[in-house]
Amino acid sequence: MDRIKEISIIRDGLPSKVWYLAWNPQGTLLASCGDDKSIQIWKQVDVVNDVDDQQQQQWVMAAKLDVHEKTVRRIAWSPDGKLIAAASFDASTSIWELSDDMNDNENNNNDSLEFNHISTLEGHQYEVKSVAWDHTGTLLATCSRDKSIWIWQMDEEKEFECLSISHGHGQDIKCVLWHPTEEILASASYDDTIKMWQDTDGDWESINTLVGHESTVWDISFNRAGDRLVSCSDDKSVILWALVKGDHSDPSQSSSSSSSSYQWKQSQIFESSHSRTIYSVDWSKDQYERIVSTGSDDSIVLYEKEVESNNNNNNNNNNNPDTTTKYKKSYQKLNAHNSDVNCIRWCPTRAGIMASCGDDSTIRIWKII
Amino acid sequence: MAEKFSSVLKLTELDDFITPSQECIKPVIIDKKNTSTQFTIESDGSYVETTSDGEKVQMEKATITLNDCLACSGCITSAESVLISAQSTVEFSNVLKSIAESKPDSIVVVSISPQSRASLANHFGIDSMQLHRKLVTFLKSIGVNHVFDTSFSREFALIESAEEFIARYKQTYDKPLPMLASACPGWICYAEKTHGDYVLPYISTTKSPQQIMGTLVKYYLSKKINTLPSNIYHVTIMPCYDKKLEASRSDFYNDVFKTKDVDCVLSTSEVLELLKEHGDVDLLKLEEATLDNSIFNNVIFNQQTGQPEKFLGVTGSTGGYFEYLFRRAAKELFGKEIEGEIEYKVGRNTDFKEASLEVDGKKVLSFAKAYGFRNIQNIVRKIKTTTASSSKKEPQYHFVEVMACPSGCINGGGQIKAASGSLREQKLLIEQSEQKYYQDLSIQSYEQLPSTLEIKDIYDQWMNGPFSLDAKTKLHTQYHMIEKSKNALSIKW
């Protein structure tokens, strides 16, 4: 049975390769970027199909943001959905604010939105690869091919100040992602590892190194509780990690940090989950907590919880990764795109809806059925 | 090796040849005569070129010089390996050997920074003065003629900086505020390569203590001892590897005499290597030398015994620019005496501190210390925003003591490191070196500078006084914007 159904597609106005997309927190807008230096904002409009009277989704371009001199690699919405940060290969990160001018955005008849370019963060020596807002919307992290991670703080006037410049990865850093509730940053690198970072006396230091992948880690995603993490890699595997709190000092575990009371342990691995490099992975924050991955084999893979075994979630001992819920690979949608799929993201407000983009110059909206 | 450099210069690593990390993109120019040639690699590893008429020529090894690196924007400096091979203990020892063998007229001068002395004294567990005297004994035993202390040249740097600041404030010197300190070569290198177009006018034109010492040794001392500048070989011992880059700047090379102001820079930790290379000398067992009190010293001698008792210096193990400029500007611009300790407001991290002076409820002086890369970023960012806005806004700061290393020069990349490398141990080491910096030191207040008659004489007789036209020629320098090379980014995503 086909579990993943395409419900909408965006073709016009996209770069020839679409590298990344991001839903706004309200689930009403999509931001995308690719190899044309701009950021595209898409707005969903519901139209009623004349033939079967069914409501259908259509996406129209609401804005095109242009300031970078080189490609924009990743974008991030602030938690309130009012700001966008864009990481570019021109070594800078731009910040955009959705205009709340009623004349601009609410009372107009057309579907266009107004974004103001309010800041540019410079400092990285080379390409900025990824950008992420923390859950409070005041901290911003960026990472780069220069192997450094920069943490910025935004004040009330939306002025940015650099808090920390951290080193630790031995190679290009592909992405950064904040913990959903705590001030912990995760990063994934070309050096095959994932690192966790935390503020220690004003300096952001690496507190854990997650070793397990055998090639570049392209993407990571936390579960909604923040005690599990999923990662995907050029080694074609997807790994699930679990947080072990307290002094579970087991010398065999993968983390290299001994001083930290937080340890991340590999809890499950899906080897050869795709036939080629896996570029993107996302853990849904709804009650189903599904995982989805995609990559250069053009397919989308769905992972779902195993049917509850004797260890249920109310078990007091559920800190132990061995008792956390197991996942199973439940479905693979082959030929989801006509070429490499670069990114896939769950809609934050509607369970079972997701968007993907790829080298075939399309964004596709999918529904789990 | 890379960790020896200041954090600014640490963005790229030395021993990393794997893409997508940074490779040197500087094109090496090779004189190409033949188009149809064959290359073979001989059994000894050398590359041999066979020309079209069958002639075999050994190919030259392509090399990149320090000057190539300084002029290239490809990386902040991957020149680090070049840097160390060009200015090393081995090079110093070779020069000493050749002087002993064939150049009897040459004079060898070593200038030690007070931060290096503090780090070494802490390492050997002896007093700063003892350390200095034992080191003098060692250096003289290997052929050094004079050993100086850069506290001496630092007084010129402080006085010039203060004069320059006051002139900028009064708008009698055509440079904007805030004035940014210029003593840190890591910061200068970074500014020239990445923010050249708008940040350079803000950087103080006053030379660093190292380079002022270079000028004094090569052009004042040479006259005094009746020799040519090129006959003096001048070595400095610095807390910082980046000082090697500074000494290599073309601004500090004299075309007429074909000589650099500072010929070779050794880091503090390289002094340990030097001791090892000269027969594994045990410094602790050496005699304490009697110091020369006739030239270039900032030392107080005991009147009865004639022995050196204390160094003359200033507060601030990063050179004391902030404190000296703040007190002098308060006095000279507003007639205010800053009583007691300066009250610092600590910023988001301990490497950012500020202090201000209010007159009639108005903030008239606002100074900051910004150490470490992240604080440099914020200063540069503020300047850029102020410059970009068309409104003539009063700058947020009037002077910023910018240094690339967290904790400043006492924690320089060339200092002797903690054995374990743990953060806690490193912090303890910084504290201990800081204590050693103040040991055997007679702290001079701002009014006491110049602290010796000799400094006053040099100013009066050799330069027509501080910040005179003459002083501007001798003690000031300039900065050069380095164009970003267009092909520097080979995109890898």
> Given 1.10.3430.10, 3.40.50.970, 2.20.28.120, 2.130.10.10, which CATH number is that of A15-273?
2.130.10.10
Q: Does A213 touch chain B (CB under 8 A)?
A: no
Asked whether the beta carbons of residue B20 and residue A145 sit closer than 8 angstroms, the reply is yes
Asked whether the beta carbons of residue A145 and residue B21 sit closer than 8 angstroms, the reply is yes
Asked whether the beta carbons of residue B378 and residue A161 sit closer than 8 angstroms, the reply is yes
pLDDT tens profile A259-279: 456 799 999 999 999 999 999
Mean pLDDT, chain A, whole residue set: 89
Q: Which residues of chain B lie closer than 8 angstroms to A203, CB-CB?
A: 349
Q: What percent of chain A has pLDDT over 90?
A: 78
- The shortest CB-CB distance from A172 to any of B10, B21, B375 is to B21
Query: Residue B57 has which token pair?
Result: 């020529």
Q: Which residue has the tokens 């890898």?
A: B492
Q: Which residues of chain A lie closer than 8 angstroms to B20, CB-CB?
A: 145, 171-172, 190
Q: Does A127 touch chain B (CB under 8 A)?
A: yes
User: Which sequence spans correspond to the domains of chain A?
Assistant: 15-273
Q: Which residues of chain B lie closer than 8 angstroms to A153, CB-CB?
A: 348
Question: pTM of the prediction?
Answer: 0.81
Q: Which residues of chain B lie closer than 8 angstroms to A89, CB-CB?
A: 489, 491, 493
Cα A265-A132-B196 angle, rounded to 5 deg:
125
Q: What was the ipTM of the complex prediction?
A: 0.74
Query: Residue B307 has which token pair?
Result: 């022995």
Q: Which pLDDT score, from 0 to 100, does residue A38 have?
A: 96
Asked whether the beta carbons of residue A145 and residue B12 sit closer than 8 angstroms, the reply is no
Q: How far is A319 from chain B (nearest CA, A)?
A: 31
**Mode of pairing for the β-strands spanning B362-371 and B399-403:** parallel
Contact yes or no for B214/B400 (Cβ under 8 A): no
Q: Which pLDDT score, from 0 to 100, does residue B482 have?
A: 82
**A–B interface: beta-carbon pairs under 8 A:** 69
Query: Residue A129 has which token pair?
Result: 């690869």
**Mode of pairing for the β-strands spanning A217-222 and A203-210:** unpaired
The residues of chain B scoring below 50 in pLDDT are: 1-4, 7-25, 27-30, 73-79, 487-493
pLDDT tens profile A302-347: 999 997 655 444 444 445 544 578 999 999 999 999 999 999 999 9
Q: Which residue of chain A is at minimal alpha-carbon distance from B379? A: A161
Q: Does A203 touch chain B (CB under 8 A)?
A: yes
Asked whether the beta carbons of residue A202 and residue B378 sit closer than 8 angstroms, the reply is no
The stretch A94-102 carries a mean pLDDT of 85
Q: Which pLDDT score, from 0 to 100, does residue B296 have?
A: 87
Q: Which pLDDT score, from 0 to 100, does residue A219 have?
A: 98
Mutate to test the interface with B, among A20, A69, A125 (most CBs of B within 10 A): A125
Q: Which residue has the tokens 């999923």?
A: A230
Which of residues 53 through 92 in chain A touch B, CB cutoff 8 A? 70-71, 73, 89
Which of residues 348 through 367 in chain A touch B, CB cutoff 8 A? none
Q: How far is B71 from chain A (nearest CA, A)?
A: 17
pLDDT tier at A76 (50, 70, 90 boundaries)? very high
Q: Which residues of chain B lie closer than 8 angstroms to A205, CB-CB?
A: 423
Q: Which residue has the higher pLDDT, A302 or A105?
A: A302
Q: Which pLDDT score, from 0 to 100, does residue A125 have?
A: 86
pLDDT tens profile B284-323: 999 999 887 778 888 888 888 888 889 999 988 888 999 9
Q: Which pLDDT score, from 0 to 100, does residue B417 have?
A: 87
The stretch A334-363 carries a mean pLDDT of 97
* Cα distances (angstroms) measured from residue A142 to each of A35, A95, A115, A161, B20: 19, 12, 21, 13, 18
Q: Which pLDDT score, from 0 to 100, does residue B193 have?
A: 81
Q: How far is A74 from chain B (nearest CA, A)?
A: 11
Q: Does B374 touch chain A (CB under 8 A)?
A: yes
Q: Which pLDDT score, from 0 to 100, does residue A200 have?
A: 85
B268-282 CB burial, b ≥16 within 10 A, e <16: bbbbbebbeeeeebe
As beta bridge partners, residue B471 has: none
Q: Which pLDDT score, from 0 to 100, does residue B41 have?
A: 67
- In this structure, which topology does domain B158-206+315-475 adopt according to CATH? Fe-only Hydrogenase (Larger Subunit); Chain L, domain 3 (3.40.950)
Q: Does B10 touch chain A (CB under 8 A)?
A: yes
Inform me whether the pLDDT recorded for A109 exceeds 90.
Answer: no
Asked whether the beta carbons of residue B349 and residue A172 sit closer than 8 angstroms, the reply is no
Q: Which pLDDT score, from 0 to 100, does residue A56 have?
A: 74
Class of domain B82-153+209-303: alpha beta
Q: How far is A170 from chain B (nearest CA, A)?
A: 9
Q: Which residues of chain B lie closer than 8 angstroms to A172, CB-CB?
A: 20-21, 492
pLDDT tens profile B143-194: 999 999 999 999 999 999 999 999 999 999 999 999 999 999 989 988 888 7
Q: Give the type of residue at A338.
A: N
Give the 3-state DSSP-derived string for chain A, with helices as H, strands as E and coil as C: CCCEEEEEEECCCCCCCEEEEEECCCCCEEEEEECCCEEEEEEEEEEECCCCCCEEEEEEEEEEEECCCCCEEEEEECCCCCEEEEEECCCCEEEEEECCCHHHHCCCCCCCCCEEEEEEECCCCCCEEEEEECCCCCEEEEEECCCEEEEEEECCCCCEEEEEEEECCCCCEEEEEECCCCCEEEEEECCCCEEEEEEECCEEEEEEEECCCCCCEEEEEECCCCCEEEEEECCCCEEEEEEEECCCCCCCCCCCCCCCCEEEEEEEEECCCCCCCEEEEEECCCCCCCEEEEECCCCEEEEEECCCCCCCCCCCCCCCHHHCCCEEEEEEECCCCCCCEEEEEECCCCCCEEEEEECCCCEEEEEEC
- The shortest CB-CB distance from B348 to any of A125, A163, A170 is to A163
Q: Which residue has the higher pLDDT, B308 or A237?
A: A237
Which of residues 331 through 350 in chain B touch A, CB cutoff 8 A? 348-350
Q: Which pLDDT score, from 0 to 100, does residue B298 have?
A: 83
- CATH 3.40.50.1780 region(s) of chain B? 82-153+209-303
Q: Which residue of chain A is at minimal alpha-carbon distance from B14? A: A170
